[in-house]
């Protein structure tokens, strides 16, 4: 009986079983390779994302440094400084002049509220070329704040000549002339939305 079961049919069955085992092993090996490939792909994507994140952080850092450099640049660096300016311009000087003008505005407004009738006699400052020249001529000017970027007008009797005449009159009267801020920033320092070129200081008492 045993010899009957071990004939050609048994051999055929054994061969089929071996083929199934081989196919199963091949599928397992293929699945393993597929999983490994998938893991490698995910790793590459993860590395790519990490590199992108690092690059983005570096770009943001460079941008912040650039913005910081711009913020630290002198505020008057882009001004077209005129020939009549005879001093060094600086942010520190601009800040001090701005603070002083702000205090003078506060004092002047307070005096106006207390006694409107005496306000004109208690003015701390006046603005404009004409008022400044008049105050210097009358000996009332204590100092002149002049924007370093006045409009150019080289015609005879124009703005250039007027500014130079004012500066010369101040030298003769020993009135200091300070070049600071700009036309736009002087106006803002005085709480006005207009450009102002010259401020004549009549009294700086109480401003420190």
Q: What is the mean pLDDT of residues 34-59?
A: 62
Q: What is the mean pLDDT of residues 7-16?
A: 47
Longest dimension (CA), the chain: 144
pLDDT at 178 over 60: yes
pLDDT at 18 over 80: no
pLDDT of residue 183: 93
Judge whether 150 and 183 are in contact, CB under 8 Å. Answer: yes
pLDDT at 69 over 50: no
Question: How confident is residue 102, by pLDDT bands cut at 50, 70 and 90?
Answer: very high
More confident residue, 4 or 203: 203
pTM for the model stands at 0.61
């Amino acid at each position: 009986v045993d010899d009957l079961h071990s004939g050609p049919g048994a051999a055929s069955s054994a061969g089929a079983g071996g083929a199934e085992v081989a196919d199963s092993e091949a599928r397992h090996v293929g699945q393993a390779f597929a999983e490994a490939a998938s893991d490698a792909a995910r790793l590459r994507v993860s590395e790519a994302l990490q590199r992108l994140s690092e690059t983005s952080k570096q770009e943001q850092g460079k941008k912040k440094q650039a913005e910081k450099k711009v913020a630290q640049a002198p505020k008057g660096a882009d001004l077209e400084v005129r020939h009549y300016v005879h001093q060094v311009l600086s942010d520190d000087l601009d800040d001090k002049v701005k603070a002083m003008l702000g205090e003078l505005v506060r004092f002047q407004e307070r005096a106006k509220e207390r006694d409107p009738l005496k306000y004109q006699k208690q003015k701390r400052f006046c603005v404009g070329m004409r008022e400044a020249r008049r105050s210097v001529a009358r000996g009332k000017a204590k100092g002149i704040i002049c924007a370093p970027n006045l409009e150019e007008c080289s015609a005879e009797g124009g703005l250039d000549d007027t500014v130079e005449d004012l500066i010369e009159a101040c030298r003769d009267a020993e009135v200091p002339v300070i070049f600071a801020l700009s036309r736009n920033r002087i106006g803002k320092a005085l709480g006005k939305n207009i450009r102002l070129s010259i401020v004549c200081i009549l009294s700086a008492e109480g401003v420190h």
